[in-house]
Amino acid sequence: LQIPRRIVQEMLAQAVAELPNECCGLLAGCVADGLGRVVQRYPLVNAAASPKEYLSQPESMFAAHRDMLGRGLDIMAIYHSHPTSDPIPSRSDHERNYSPNVVNIIISLKASEPSLRGWWLADGKHQEAEWDVIEEDL
Ligand SMILES: [Zn+2]
């Protein structure tokens, strides 16, 4: 999965802006030659408004899906932040897994430098997903 640097920075900014709560959102793009490339970020409303969990507000989810459909984009990743814990999927992240086919990005703000990790979640297990930051913007 390739993510433009600008979109990574926007995710980090959103995570900081929504402190002390978790933030959430979607990354959409397309797959070419077996490689997914993100072109668009959709910040979602965390309906849980909690520092410990997130719940994507359905209205913001539908609006993102509608826009993706119109642009011919697919969901590449879903992201959320962990304001005070490591970027490792929690039990509720497993329970609320959006899809085993979409990368779960977790932004940790626990340390002074934020860290991001991507995961594939399935059957209560998580496996690190490969992703790269790319400089080029589409
Ligand atoms: Zn989480």
Distance between CA atoms of residues 134 and 6, nearest Å:
9
32 Cα–ligand 1 center, Å: 29
| Per-residue DSSP letter, 42 | E
20 Cα–ligand 1 center, Å: 14
33 Cα–ligand 1 center, Å: 31
Under 8 Å between Cβ of 74 and 30: yes
22 is catalytic: yes
Which one, of 108, 115, 111, 109, lies nearest residue 133 by Cα?
Answer: 115
Tens-place pLDDT, residues 60-96: 999 999 999 999 999 999 999 999 999 999 999 999 8
Q: Which of 22, 113, 128, 135 is catalytic?
A: 22
Distance between CA atoms of residues 74 and 6, nearest Å:
19
Percent of the chain that is helix, strand, coil (3-state, to 5): 25, 40, 40
The model carries a pTM of 0.94
Residue 137: pLDDT band (50, 70, 90) is low
The average confidence (pLDDT) of the chain is 95
